[in-house]
Amino acid sequence: MSQAATDAAAKRAKLWRRTRVGGTIALGLAGVLYLTTLFHSELPVLALAAGVLAVCIWEVDSMGSLAGRRLWVPLAAGSAAVVWTTWNYFHEVGGGIDLADRGHVDLGFGLGWLMRSTLDAGLIVTAAYAAACTRAITLRFAGLVLLAAPTLAAHFVGVEQAGFAVLALCLFVVLRLVVFGAERRGEAFAMLLLGPLLVVSILGLVWVWYDFTHWGLIALLAICKIGDSAGYYVGSTLGKHHPFKSISPGKTTEGTLGSFVAASLACMAFVQIGWLPGGSWLGGLVAGAVVSVAAQASDLLESWVKRKAGVKDSGTWFGPSGGMLDLVDSFFLATPVALAVWPFALGL
């Protein structure tokens, strides 16, 4: 067998394995969505998101040069805080959200959750990173105080003063880590930026499901994966220009454009068939375009982290598709962008 035939056979086998993995995951998601309908509860989809996030945290903590740095501590702490925030939104802030009445675009819930959860995750990840992952005694002490500051300050000086106290202490920790700290400055910057983003993006899928129903969540997943697949096929067939050689050598300009066009058209089609609200082809195109840009930027972010850690894939859970982080990397920015932009774009 010639080398060309061998390469073609290997490529077909890889594509089949990727398709098989994707089909299995799709069936699992369908089962979880069925359970939410069966029990009229958000718990199955929330549990799925939390489980995916737990695997992602495990992969980060064992990834190349990041192994042994106890990064699971700030990520797990931030995740617990956002899970608690999500639970409160469903059962306290929302006064007990009626799942049978979801499907409207309610900025007061999805977008409000996004802003509050980003602040919560940012605060907790910053404090826990300083307390658990640094050597400086002042930083460790400041991190521990920052973890307890909201409760203590609110109890002794009031809520408004507590906010200023927490903000000042958080600013001190960030400046000490990123600006004035010589100890793993790049890691600290990446953790403070990408840690909250990882937590909010995965748990934010719960709110995409709530605001846009089962079909809206499926549409977001499909848009990202259709764009990813189109980028792979176009890039491997026609790709000649490599604009991100230092981060993702395999990504091409042609593949990027193919991904953008495919994702935008897919979103427009999902609006037309009723998976997403609106009905305007222009709104669908805009909604798909912004998600495509966000998803491809997310992929580059994860590639940058893996390159810094010295690994090709985040894990081996899904064979040629890599690990869990490789599977969900598109959503790091796509989920927040969908929650923030779709209610406006789909109304065009």
Q: Which of 76, 77, 112 is nearest to 92 (CA)?
A: 112
Lowest mean pLDDT among 3-17, 97-111, 190-204, 246-260: 97-111
pLDDT band at 7 (very low <50, low <70, confident <90, very high): low
* CA-atom Rg of the chain in angstroms: 21
pLDDT tens by residue, 280-299:
889 899 999 999 999 999 98
| Weakest mean pLDDT among 5-19, 66-80, 240-254, 325-339 | 5-19
> Three-state SS string across the chain, please?
CCHHHHHHHHHHHHHHHHHHHHHHHHHHHHHHHHHHHHHCCCHHHHHHHHHHHHHHHHHHHCCHHHCCCCCHHHHHHHHHHHHHHHHHHHHHHCCCCCHHHCCCCCCCCHHHHHHHHHHHHHHHHHHHHHHHCCCCHHHHHHHHHHHHHHHHHHHHHCHHHHHHHHHHHHHHHHHHHHHCCCCCHHHHHHHHHHHHHHHHHHHHHHHHHHHHHHHHHHHHHHHHHHHHHHHHHHHHHHCCCCCCCCCCCCCCHHHHHHHHHHHHHHHHHHHHCCCCCCCCHHHHHHHHHHHHHHHHHHHHHHHHHHHHHCCCCCCCCCHHHCCHHHHHCCHHHHHHHHHHHHHHHCCC
pLDDT tops 60 at residue 119? yes
CA distance 111 to 114: 5
If you average pLDDT over residues 341-346, what whole number do you get?
A: 88
Residue 238 has a pLDDT of 80
Pairwise CA distance, residues 242 & 232, whole Å? 13
**More confident of the two residues 241 and 104:** 241
What's the whole-model pTM score?
Answer: 0.86
Residues contacting 306, CB < 8 A, separation 6+: 63, 64, 312, 313, 314
Is residue 107 pLDDT above 60, yes or no?
no
Hey, what are 221's tokens? 């997943």
What is the mean predicted confidence (pLDDT) over 337-347? 88
Predicted confidence at residue 288, as pLDDT, reads: 94
Query: pLDDT digit string (tens) for 132-188?
Result: 988 888 888 888 888 887 666 555 555 555 667 777 888 888 888 887 776 678 788
Of 172, 77, 180, nearest to 125 by C-alpha is 77
Decide if pLDDT at 10 tops 70: no
Indicate the domain borders of the chain.
3-134+184-345
The least confident of 51-55, 239-243, 279-283 is 239-243
| Mean model confidence pLDDT for the chain | 82
* More reliable by pLDDT, 95 or 256: 256
Cα→Cα distances 98→104, 203, 225, 237, Å: 12, 19, 30, 48
Q: What is the model's pLDDT at position 343?
A: 87
pLDDT in tens, 303-336: 888 888 888 888 777 776 778 888 888 899 999 9
Q: What is the pLDDT of residue 334?
A: 94
